[in-house]
Amino acid sequence: MSPDMMFNLLTKALGQTLQMVVIAGLIGSLIGLPIGVFLATSGKGELFPAPAVNRVIGLIVNAARSTPFIILVVAIIPFTRLVTGTSIGTYAAIVPLTIATIPFFARLVEAAIREIDTGLIEAARAMGATPMQIVFKVLLAEARPALMAALTMTMVSLIGYSAMVGAVGGGGLGDLGIRYGYQRFMPEMMLAVVVVLIVLVQLVQSAGDLLARRFDKRNRKN
Amino acid sequence: MTIPNAAANAAPPEEAGQAPIRPLAASTAAAPMVAFEAVTKRFGEAGGKPGFTALDGIDFTVARGAITGIIGRSGAGKSTLIRLVNGLEKASSGRVTVDGVEVGGLSEHGLRDLRRQVGMIFQHFNLLTSRTAFDNVALPLEIAGVDKKTIRDKVTPLLDLVGLGDKAGRYPSELSGGQKQRVGIARALATSPKLLLSDEATSALDPETTQSILELLKRINAELGLTVLLITHEMEVVKEIATDVAVIDRGRIVEAGSTFDVYASPKHETTRTLLATALKLPEWLRNGLKAQPSVGDRVLVRLVFFGETAFKPLTGRLVSELGSDVNILAGGIEEIGGKPFGSLVVSYSAAPDVVERANRFYAETGLSTEVLGYVA
């Protein structure tokens, strides 16, 4: 295989990976965020007390998180077909990736919000804030650095997950590595895929760290 | 127990009974700002189990325009007490009224309205780390739905008032403890409250910073006519700024009155203990105290000078009257509620004749005294 061909295959696969990770990451995080906030605020005596609902959602989240991703991909094929009209291809792969992102991100959001000093919630209540105002003006605002770190972690995990969706013809870098590098005995392709993935993860992590630091005003030096 | 303040006691009759909830503005100047009537608070009550009684039959009023201190050891119930005022905690029984409105009878919406009229400051400041000093002060106004321009017009003078006009753009992590509490105070004042609640506001600060924060609270009370209710475990704080004080112990108010009276003649054991730490008796002296004298012991007496006696040369006369040596162990002259207040701890022979001569001298001169104990 000529270097040109290899390059073309790599850029195409990188494009597919980015497409899957970005779309699944954004949609999954947007849905996961309110679920995470709810998990963190619906315990007994908290802002939106609903301990029973909290337990049920907690159970569902745990169940989704303990299902191996490759099984999730196959198990939800009917749902995928319902959403995208097909069960094969990059778009079809975005559905299980999104579904896997939601509980993952929700738990990270919950942890980020539970980190916030309860004194701040009390202060906001003493000011006459509504529970919704407390969520937006206190919890989400104060958790911004931790939420940024959670989003970074989610994106990095998604890059890993996206390697598995070759199983349903999702394409992407992982799929390229398996089909060419492993099944067609092309170690140079395998190496190229791994290098590209390492660089990609590094970039995402650095960008995330930078943003998280920018949001974090807790340890500012003069 | 009620603070002996004529104005505070002259509540209109309908306030004593089950008065309908009246608008906050319709109160009269004579009514107390805050009133507790037979208030009890229990925690962890469930399925017939009694739970823990944090407050037990609190009857107490906070006079309008005054600075009232509630002092007690940790766990005495003072945090719970102050949180009943703005509804952060609900009373198990009894009534808490703020400016004539019963807090327990308010809806969530009514409670939020009330909280905008009651500012609160905290021991650990509770500032948002993600907001600058300016934006922290602006938060209660944003919550109340005030527009941006009005917020700017309101926040800037408040930061000037607390002496942080040049720190508007700083984040809490860039400010010292005292500066953070100043931001907290400005924030509590943002919605122009009529009552300020202070929850151990100086307990995390060093003595010098404590002093400056207390000065600020005093100034705000005088300039804005704001009623202040503060809780603390430090007698120094009460002595410094409170006009009235209540002593709370194990969920009950054991003593209340003007700070001066309570300080000059403490009646309850808890008050005396709290005062003893404020008096700074040397450790060896406190530890060696006995309740009963034996032969050859010396009696330890606290002499309190205030009002007329503060200006008379009584100590010198005491020595000559007793015909026995008098040892001065501790003492000082302070100002409480603007009045001079001196206290002197002396010891002299506990022999019956000496003690009798001393008591005669005290009765004659009107000197207020308290026997602290006996030492060998």
* pLDDT tens across the length of chain B (376 residues): 444 444 444 444 444 444 444 444 444 456 899 999 999 999 887 766 677 889 999 999 999 999 999 999 888 889 999 999 999 999 999 999 999 999 999 999 999 999 999 999 999 999 999 999 999 999 999 999 999 999 999 999 999 999 999 999 999 999 999 999 999 999 999 999 999 999 999 999 999 999 999 999 999 999 999 999 999 998 889 988 999 999 999 999 999 999 888 887 788 888 877 776 666 666 777 777 788 888 888 888 888 877 666 667 787 888 888 877 888 888 877 777 667 777 888 888 888 888 888 888 888 887 878 888 888 7
Average confidence (pLDDT) over A109-135: 96
Distance between B26 CA and the closest CA of chain A, angstroms: 21
Q: In angstroms, rounded to a whole number, what is the distance separating the alpha carbons of residues A78 and A81?
A: 5
Distance between A56 CA and the closest CA of chain B, angstroms: 24
Q: In angstroms, rounded to a whole number, what is the distance separating the alpha carbons of residues B1 and A38?
A: 45
Please check whether residue A120 touches B, CB under 8 A.
Answer: yes
Going from the C-alpha of B247 to that of each of B28, B69, B196, B336, the distances in angstroms are: 27, 8, 19, 17
- Do residues A185 and A5 touch, judged by C-beta distance below 8 A? no
Architecture of domain B6-267: 3-Layer(aba) Sandwich (3.40)
Distance between A45 CA and the closest CA of chain B, angstroms: 11
Going from the C-alpha of B102 to that of each of B213, B220, B230, the distances in angstroms are: 31, 26, 20
Q: What is the phi/psi pair of residue B177, to 5°? A: -55, -45
Residue whose C-alpha is closest to residue B139's, from B124, B153, B125, B155 = B155
Domain boundaries, chain B: 6-267, 280-375
- Please state the ipTM of this predicted complex: 0.89
Chain B residue set in contact with A, beta carbons under 8 Å: 86, 88, 111-116, 118, 120, 122, 124, 126, 128-131, 139-140, 142-144, 171-174, 187, 191, 197
- Write down the pLDDT at residue B325: 84
Distance between B103 CA and the closest CA of chain A, angstroms: 13
The verdict on a CB contact (< 8 Å) between A117 and B126 is yes
Q: In angstroms, rounded to a whole number, what is the distance separating the alpha carbons of residues B278 and B255?
A: 17
Q: In angstroms, rounded to a whole number, what is the distance separating the alpha carbons of residues A169 and A9?
A: 15
Q: What is the phi/psi pair of residue B53, to 5°? A: -90, 110
Distance between B106 CA and the closest CA of chain A, angstroms: 13
Q: In angstroms, rounded to a whole number, what is the distance separating the alpha carbons of residues A34 and B331?
A: 62
Tell me the pLDDT tens digit for each residue of A145-187.
Answer: 999 999 999 999 999 999 888 777 888 998 999 899 889 999 9
Please check whether residue A130 touches B, CB under 8 A.
Answer: yes
The verdict on a CB contact (< 8 Å) between B116 and A127 is yes
Preferred mutation among B139, B180, B195 to probe A, highest tally of A CBs within 10 A: B139
Q: What is the phi/psi pair of residue B309, to 5°? A: -65, -20
Q: Looking at chain A from residue 22 to 81, which residues have their Cβ under 8 Å from any Cβ of chain B? A: none
Residue in the structure block whose two tokens are 């190496």: A191
Give me the domains of chain A, ranges plus CATH numbers: 7-215 (1.10.3720.10)
Q: In angstroms, rounded to a whole number, what is the distance separating the alpha carbons of residues B376 and B366?
A: 28
Query: How many helical (H) and strand (E) elements, i.e. helices and strands, does chain B have?
Result: 14, 14
Preferred mutation among A116, A127, A211 to probe B, highest tally of B CBs within 10 A: A127
Amino acid identity at B61 = T
- Write down the pLDDT at residue B21: 45
Closest CB to B122 among A119, A129, A215: A119
Please check whether residue A125 touches B, CB under 8 A.
Answer: yes
Q: In angstroms, rounded to a whole number, what is the distance separating the alpha carbons of residues B313 and B191?
A: 51
- Write down the pLDDT at residue B353: 87
Q: Looking at chain A from residue 98 to 117, which residues have their Cβ under 8 Å from any Cβ of chain B? A: 117
The verdict on a CB contact (< 8 Å) between A124 and B139 is yes
Q: Is B216 helix (H, G, I), strand (E, B) or coil?
A: helix
Residue whose C-alpha is closest to residue B197's, from B59, B83, B302, B105 = B83
Distance between B352 CA and the closest CA of chain A, angstroms: 58
**Contacts of B247 by beta carbon, 8 Å cutoff, 6+ apart:** B70, B71, B72, B253, B254, B255, B256, B262, B268, B270, B271, B274
Reading phi first (left if > 0) and then psi (alpha if -120 to 50, else beta), residue B17 is in beta
Residue whose C-alpha is closest to residue B163's, from B213, B95, B235, B119 = B213
- Write down the pLDDT at residue B290: 81
Q: What is the 3-state secondary structure (H, E, C) of B104-170?
A: HHCCHHHHHHHHCCEEEEECCCCCCCCCCHHHHHHHHHHHCCCCHHHHHHHHHHHHHHCCCHHHCCC
Q: In angstroms, rounded to a whole number, what is the distance separating the alpha carbons of residues B312 and B318?
A: 11
**Contacts of B156 by beta carbon, 8 Å cutoff, 6+ apart:** B134, B165, B168
Please check whether residue A137 touches B, CB under 8 A.
Answer: yes
Provide the pairing of β-strand B34-43 with B93-98. Answer: antiparallel
Closest CB to A128 among B115, B122, B174: B115
- Residue of B360 and A123 predicted with greater confidence: A123
Average pLDDT, whole number, for chain A? 93
- Write down the pLDDT at residue A22: 96
**Contacts of A199 by beta carbon, 8 Å cutoff, 6+ apart:** none
Architecture of domain B280-375: 2-Layer Sandwich (3.30)
Q: Which helix (H) or strand (E) holds B222?
A: helix B207-224
Reading phi first (left if > 0) and then psi (alpha if -120 to 50, else beta), residue B373 is in left
Q: Give residue A163's Cα distance to chain centre.
A: 14
The verdict on a CB contact (< 8 Å) between A126 and B115 is yes
Distance between B62 CA and the closest CA of chain A, angstroms: 19
Q: In angstroms, rounded to a whole number, what is the distance separating the alpha carbons of residues A202 and A194?
A: 12
**Is the pLDDT reported for residue A221 higher than 60?**
no
The verdict on a CB contact (< 8 Å) between B173 and A129 is no
